[in-house]
Structure 1
Amino acid sequence: MASLPYSDVDSHLKALAGQAEGFGRFSVGGLHGPVYHVTNLADDGPGSLRDGCRRKEPLWIVFEVSGMIHLSSYLSLSSYKTVDGRGHRIKITGKGLRLKECEHIIICNLEFEGGRGHDVDGIQIKPNSRHIWIDRCSLCDYDDGLIDITRQSTDITISRCYFTRHDKTMLIGADPSHIGDRCIRVTIHHCFFDGTRQRQPRVRFGKVHLYNNYTRGWGIYAVCASVESQVYSQCNIYEAGEKKKTFEYYTEKAADKDEKISGSIISEGDLFLNGAQASIRSIEKEESIFHPSDFYPTWTLELASDSLKAVLQICAGWQSINMPAEQVGSST
C-alpha cells in the first residue's frame, strides 16, 4: 500500500509547523504565537476568521464551528499565520484568501467553492510572499484560478490537495513581462487533479517540482511550460480522458529578451494511462533544468502505481479528522 509523507503531523496541534516537503519546507506558520479560536461563521467581527487573519502577531487559528464562511471581499492574511481547519468542516465561498507581501503561512484542511467575480481566485499568492504551505485543501468552482502564484512569490509547497470542477486550475507566473518571477520555486505533491480542464499547473519562468500527483481527465492539457519555466515531473500518474496531450509548451517573449521561448519539462518515472501522450521538450542546450536535490535533500517519493492512485483518491483534499490536542495555552 502506498504511504504518505508527514504522517505524524496530527499528533499534536503545532506538530504541523515546519513539516512541509519541498520548497515550502521552512514555513512555520503561527508556531510561535497563541491559538486563536474562530467562534462564528461571520465575514468579520470578533471571533471571525477575518479578525484572526488580519492581526499582526503570530497566531495559530483553529475553529470551534463548522459551516460556510461567505466572504464579501478577499480575506488577506498577515505573516506568521496558520489557518487550521482540522477537527471541523469549513467551506470558504464568495471570494478567496489573499496572501500579499507576507511570509510563513500554513493553510490546512479547508474547502474552497463557489468564488464569484472577475479575477477571483481560491487562494491568490502575490506579490512577494514566501514560505507558504497549503495542505489537504479541497478547491473547486471559482471564476478565475483555484491557486495562483505570481509576482515574485516563492518557496511554496502545495500538498495533498483536491482540485475538481474547474477550468484554469493553477497559474504560476502571470505574465511574460514579470521577469522577476524567475525567482519562483514551487513544489506540488500528492495532489489529485480530478477532471480539471487545464493548468495542472501552467508555469512561466519558475522552477516547479511535481511528484506523486494524480491528474486525470483534463480538457486541454495536464501541464504547460511557458517562457523559461522548468518543470520536473517525477513519478506522477497522468490518466487521459478524451484529450490525450499531457504536456503543452507555449512560446512567449520575456520582457528583457528578443526571442520567444517555451519552457522545459523533464519526466522521470511518470505513469501515462489511457493513451496519455508525453511530449518531452528540452530547453536550450546551453542551459540545464534544475534538479530538486539542488534545493532540498529528501522528499517522500514512491513509484507511480495503482496503489498510489487509490490512496490519492482518498487522502487528497479536506479530511474528516479530529483536531489535534493543544500542548500550550490558548487565547483569543
Structure 2
Amino acid sequence: MEKPSFPCLVSWLLLFSIYSLHVKAMNVIDSCWRSDPKWSTNRKALGNCAKGFGSSTTGGKNGAIYIVNDASDDSVNPKQGTLRYGVIQTEPLWIIFQKNMLITLKNELIISAYKTIDGRGAKVEIAYGPCFTIQLVKHVIVHGISLRDCKAAKPGPVRVSPTRVLRRSGTDGDAITIHSSSKVWIDHCYFARADDGLIDIVHGSTSVTVSNNYFTQHNKVMLLGNQDGLIPDKKMRVTIAFNHFGPGLHQRMPMVRLGYAHVANNYYEPWNIYAIGGASNPTIFSEGNYFIAGTKKEVTHRNIASRIEWEKWNWKSSKDAFTHGAFFKPSGSGSANTNYTPSQLFSVAQGSQVPSLTSDVGPLNL
C-alpha cells in the first residue's frame, strides 16, 4: 500500500484539526444531536438533549410525527395539515414542516401538552399576528422557529382541543407566553419585535430551559415572574444558556421576580438600559457569560428596592467575561449554586469561550 505524501498528510491533518476545533466549539446541547450527520432520520433524538432545569421535558418524543403542509390558520376550525390542528391534539406529537412557510395566526396558538414543534429542515416563520401560548401544560419543546412581529390577540373563541373551544380574553402580544406550565424547552429560535415581551415565564411556571436562541430589536426581552408577591413564582427555576442577545435590545435579559435563574454562557451585545434585572428578592447566578458594554456599563438592575433591601438578594457572578467597561454588581451572602440533578447538569465554560459556543444560535440552515 502506497504511503500518503507529506503534503497530503499535512493537508489531512489540517482538515482534521479544523474539524476537531469545530466539534470542540459546539456547545453541549448542540453536540448531543448535531454530531449525528443523519439526525433527520432520528429527529426525536433531540428530545434527549436539553440541559438545565428544562432537561426532563419529553415534548412529543413518545408520539407520532405530524407533518404541517398547510400554512393557513383557523382559530376555531383548523384544517388537518395546519400547525394549529397538530398542537391541539390530545396525544403526544412530534410536529415537523413539509416546506418553508410563513404562518400568520388568526388568534393565539394554544399548545397542548406533550408536543414538539420542530422547524429543522424548513424556514418556518410565525409573524404579523398573535403568537404562542403555553398554559397549564407540561412537556413542550419549540425548536427552530422564527417568531417575529407578534401582535396582541383580540378576545374571541379559540379551539384548545378537538372537542373544546374556549372564549379567550386576548393577549398582550408576547412571542411566547409560558403560564402555569412546566418542563418546557425553547431552543434555536429567532425572536424580534412583539407588542409586549419576547418570552414571558409567569404564574408558577418552572423547569424551563431557554437555549441557543437569537434575540434582537426589542425593548422588554424576557420576563420571569410578572407580579411582585406572587408566591407560586418562588418555585420557578429557569436556565437561560447559549443565547445571543443581539443589537437593539433594551432590558430584561432576563428580568426575574422571586424565583431562580441560571444565566450561563450567553453572548450580550450592548444593552440600552440593563442586561440582567430583578425584583422581589430573586436568586440569579450569572455564570460564564460574555458582556459587551455600550454606553450603559452596569449589567445589573434592581427594580424598586432600597440598597438595604437588595444587598440581601443573592446575585452572583462567576466565570463571566466583561468588555468595554461592563460590570456586574453582586449581592447577598448565601450560595447561588444551581443544585442541578445529574441529568440537568452541564459544564459551563469560561465567558471568553462564549463567542464560539453561541456562533450557531437561532434556526439552523440544515
* TM-score of the aligned structures, taking structure 1 as reference length: 0.89
Instruction: Give 2:268's aligned residue.
Output: 215
Distance 2:222 2:241 in 1: 14
Q: CA deviation at 1:264?
A: 3.0
C-alpha contact 1:96 1:112 (8 A) present in aligned 2 = yes
Which of residues 276, 297, 311 in structure 2 aligns to 1:244? 297
SS of the aligned residue for 1:292 comes to coil
C-alpha contact 2:33 2:49 (8 A) present in aligned 1 = yes
SS of the aligned residue for 1:180 comes to helix
Asked if 1:225 corresponds to 2:278, the answer is yes
Asked if 1:19 corresponds to 2:49, the answer is yes
SS of the aligned residue for 1:9 comes to helix
Instruction: Give 1:201's aligned residue.
Output: 254
Q: Deviations over 1:108-166 (max 9, x none)?
A: 0000110123611011000x210001110010001111110000010000110000000
Q: Give, as a single letter, the amino acid of the residue that structure 2 aligns with 1:25.
A: S
Instruction: Give 1:234's aligned residue.
Output: 287
Which of residues 128, 131, 139 in structure 2 aligns to 1:96? 131
Which of residues 213, 221, 242 in structure 2 aligns to 1:190? 242
SS of the aligned residue for 2:32 comes to coil
SS of the aligned residue for 1:26 comes to coil
Q: Give, as a single letter, the amino acid of the residue that structure 2 aligns with 1:96.
A: C
Instruction: Give 1:36's aligned residue.
Output: 66
Q: Give, as a single letter, the amino acid of the residue that structure 2 aligns with 1:130.
A: S
Distance 1:289 1:50 in 2: 44
Distance 2:350 2:212 in 1: 17
Instruction: Give 1:60's aligned residue.
Output: 94
C-alpha contact 1:204 1:263 (8 A) present in aligned 2 = no
Instruction: Give 1:325's aligned residue.
Output: none
Q: CA deviation at 1:234?
A: 0.5
Instruction: Give 1:4's aligned residue.
Output: 27
Which of residues 258, 264, 272 in structure 1 aligns to 2:314? 264
Which of residues 276, 281, 300 in structure 1 aligns to 2:347? 300
SS of the aligned residue for 1:272 comes to strand
Q: CA deviation at 1:107?
A: 0.5
The sequence identity of aligned pairs, in percent, is 33
Distance 2:148 2:262 in 1: 26
Query: How many corresponding residue pairs?
Result: 309
Distance 1:80 1:294 in 2: 23
Distance 1:191 1:75 in 2: 24
Instruction: Give 2:157's aligned residue.
Output: none
Q: Judge which range, 80-89 or 66-75, deviates more.
A: 66-75
Distance 1:295 1:251 in 2: 34
1:117-128 superposed matches below 5 A:
117=152, 119-126=172-179, 128=180
Distance 1:239 1:291 in 2: 25
Asked if 1:157 corresponds to 2:209, the answer is yes
Distance 2:267 2:82 in 1: 35
Distance 1:80 1:215 in 2: 32
Distance 1:231 1:184 in 2: 12
C-alpha contact 2:223 2:256 (8 A) present in aligned 1 = yes
Asked if 1:278 corresponds to 2:313, the answer is no
SS of the aligned residue for 2:229 comes to coil
Distance 1:217 1:173 in 2: 24
Q: Give, as a single letter, the amino acid of the residue that structure 1 aligns with 2:346.
A: W
SS of the aligned residue for 1:8 comes to helix
Distance 2:175 2:305 in 1: 26
* TM-score of the aligned structures, taking structure 2 as reference length: 0.81
Distance 1:67 1:3 in 2: 28
Larger Rg: 1 or 2? 2
Distance 1:145 1:64 in 2: 29
Asked if 1:320 corresponds to 2:365, the answer is yes
C-alpha contact 1:119 1:144 (8 A) present in aligned 2 = yes
C-alpha contact 2:131 2:151 (8 A) present in aligned 1 = no
Q: Give, as a single letter, the amino acid of the residue that structure 1 aligns with 2:105.
A: L
Asked if 1:109 corresponds to 2:144, the answer is yes
More helix by share: 2
Q: CA deviation at 1:310?
A: 4.1
